């Protein structure tokens, strides 16, 4: 599929790309109350781990993905997610022992309404490392609402989703870069109370997320080097839609679909952690764009939408002819590392 569009893959993973480095320093989480047994585990992890290895408690750990739990009672939404260690095949034959929410990377799509109160529980099933949740969609004091949850414990937090948008969420535990780059990121859509002015025109809508991968758990590589892979994923917004991880070729294997004449809406977010996305659909122009997904930020006639790390948008475009429409980040060094998706348009 890539060759068809002239974007050949150059991501071959050398043995060195698979060399693993030690986990980040978790010692500064010692202030959180943990059982002595747990403390011992954490200390083991933060001790001088040998480089080039999966941290000991994660060895042989591949936790089955746990479905997102979400229940609504009026405007109160009860959400439970897990932090867990799950293998993700980033590209054919290359498994990454990802740090994840619910066994997906990016994590599961969360959709709520403007004004909802979120009662969020993080069930940290990682036996070794604290994790946390930072929703960009809420106002909270981070040292209260986004604090670490110790291994094998649960933490519950409440806050309001008061602004509409296409927001990133991520683990905020130190070192944040390790936690995000190892897979702990995702998207929460806060639907505007009054909708978007173009709601009635839209025929199909999808969610697309861009993220990068680096050498396995290698904070030095994540900090100073270029990504090994840059990828798109899609999350099912409606029943029957594909739901993928951020893997090379994910949206070629499960292309988005539309009919000739459809106006297609994509909720897009670039979760980074480091790179900017220049989101572009080949063969069309965005009729309407709502930057960060807020109806107040309405633009028209854009060719490419720049998404900063964590930035989102709602983009809408019309497909006037049957065919295969690739979408890319127009930073083509990243497109060649995997960031190409596909929309198949039929009569
Ligand atoms: Cu984490």
- Residue 127: what pLDDT? 97
Q: Is 136 annotated as a binding residue?
A: yes
Mean predicted lDDT score pLDDT of the chain: 88
Q: What are 197-230's pLDDT values in tens digits?
A: 999 999 999 999 999 999 999 999 999 999 999 9
Average pLDDT over residues 45-55: 50
Q: How confident is the model over 242-286, as pLDDT tens digits? A: 999 999 999 988 899 999 999 999 999 999 999 999 999 999 999
Ligand 1 centroid to 13 CA: how many Å? 25
Q: Is the pLDDT of residue 52 over 70?
A: no
d(CA 125, CA 62): 11
| Residue 311 in this model has a pLDDT that exceeds 50 | yes
Distance 16 CA to ligand 1 centre (A): 25
Q: What separation in Å is there between the alpha carbon of 185 and the centre of ligand 1?
A: 9
Question: What's the CA-to-centroid distance between 253 and ligand 1, angstroms?
Answer: 29
Architecture in CATH for domain 3-13+196-346 = Sandwich (2.60)
- By percentage, how much of the chain surpasses pLDDT 90? 83
Say whether 168 counts as a known binding-site residue. no
Asked if 231 contacts 89 with a C-beta cutoff of 8 angstroms, the reply is no
**Ligand-binding site membership of 171 (annotated):** yes
pLDDT computed for residue 174 by the predictor: 96
131 is in an annotated binding site: yes
Q: Give the pLDDT confidence score for residue 265 in this predicted structure.
A: 98
Selected residue with higher pLDDT from 49 and 280 = 280
| Mean of pLDDT values over 317-331 | 97
Residue 13 is predicted with a pLDDT of 33
Question: Which CATH code, of 2.60.40.420, 3.40.605.10, 2.170.130.10, 1.10.1790.20, is assigned to 21-191?
Answer: 2.60.40.420
Q: Is 185 assigned to a binding site?
A: no
Would you place residue 105 in the very low, low, confident or very high pLDDT band (cuts 50, 70, 90)?
Answer: very high
Q: How confident is the model at residue 58 (pLDDT cuts 50, 70, 90)?
A: very high
Q: What is the pTM of this model?
A: 0.85
Question: What's the confidence (pLDDT) of residue 22?
Answer: 33
Higher pLDDT, 266 or 33: 266
* Residue 165 contacts residue 312 (beta carbons within 8 Å): yes
Distance 171 CA to ligand 1 centre (A): 5
What does the pLDDT average to over 84-107? Answer: 96
Percent of the chain with pLDDT over 70: 85
Residue 161 pLDDT exceeds 50: yes
**What SS3 string covers the chain?**
CCHHHCCCCCCCCCHHHHCCCCCCCCHHHCCCCCCHHHHHHHHHHHCCCCCCCCCHHHCCCCCCCCCCEEEEECCEEEEEEEEEEEEEEEECCEEEEEEEECCECCCCCEEEECCCEEEEEEEECCCCCCECCEECCCCCCHHHHCCCECCCCEEEEEEECCCCEEEEEECCCCCHHHHHHCCCEEEEEEECCCCCCCHHHCCEEEEEEEEEECCCCCHHHHHHCCCCEEEEEEECCCCCCCCCCCCCCHHHHCCEEEECCCEEEEEEEEEECCCCEEEEECCCCEEEEEECCCCCCEEEEECCEEECCCCEEEEEEECCCCEEEEEEECCHHHHCCCCEEEEEEEC
Which of these ranges, 14-18, 68-72, 142-146, 180-184, has the smallest mean pLDDT? Answer: 14-18
User: What pLDDT score was predicted for residue 186?
Assistant: 98
Confidence of residue 136 (pLDDT cuts 50, 70, 90): very high
Sign of the Cα torsion 264, 269, 274, 276 reads positive
User: Residue 9 in contact with residue 338, Cβ under 8 Å?
Assistant: yes
Give pLDDT tens digits for 167-182.
999 999 999 999 999 9
CATH 2.60.40.420 spans which residues of the chain?
A: 3-13+196-346, 21-191
pLDDT in the model for residue 54: 87
């Amino acid at each position: 599929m890539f060759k068809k569009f002239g974007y050949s893959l150059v991501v071959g993973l050398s043995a060195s790309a698979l060399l693993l480095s030690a986990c980040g320093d978790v010692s500064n989480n010692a202030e959180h109350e943990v059982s002595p047994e747990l403390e011992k585990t954490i200390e083991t992890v933060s001790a001088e781990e040998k480089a080039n290895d999966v941290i000991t408690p994660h060895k042989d750990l591949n936790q089955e993905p746990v479905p997102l739990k979400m229940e609504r009672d009026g405007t109160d939404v009860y959400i439970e997610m897990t932090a867990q260690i799950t293998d993700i095949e980033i590209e054919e034959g290359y498994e990454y022992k990802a740090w994840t929410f619910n066994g997906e990377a990016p994590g599961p799509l969360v959709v709520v309404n403007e004004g909802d109160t979120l009662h969020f529980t993080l069930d940290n099933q990682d036996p070794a490392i604290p994790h946390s949740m930072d929703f960009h969609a809420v106002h909270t004091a981070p040292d209260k609402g986004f604090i670490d949850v110790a291994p094998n414990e649960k933490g519950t937090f409440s806050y309001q989703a008061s602004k509409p948008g296409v927001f990133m969420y991520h683990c905020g535990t130190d070192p944040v870069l390790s936690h995000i780059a190892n897979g702990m990121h995702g998207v929460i859509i806060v639907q505007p109370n009054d909708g978007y002015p173009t709601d009635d025109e839209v025929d199909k809508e999808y969610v697309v997320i861009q993220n990068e991968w680096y050498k396995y758990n290698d904070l030095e590589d994540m900090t100073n080097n270029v990504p090994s892979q840059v990828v798109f994923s899609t999350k099912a917004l409606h029943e029957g839609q594909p739901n993928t991880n951020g893997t090379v070729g994910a949206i070629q294997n499960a292309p988005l679909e539309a009919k000739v004449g459809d106006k297609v809406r994509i909720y897009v977010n670039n979760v980074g952690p480091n790179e900017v996305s220049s989101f572009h659909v080949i063969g069309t122009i965005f009729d309407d764009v709502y930057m960060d997904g807020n109806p107040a930020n309405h633009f028209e006639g854009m060719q490419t939408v720049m998404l900063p790390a964590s930035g989102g948008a709602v983009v809408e475009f019309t497909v006037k002819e049957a065919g295969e429409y690739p979408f890319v980040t127009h930073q083509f060094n990243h497109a060649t590392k995997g960031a190409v998706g596909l929309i198949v348009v039929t009569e």
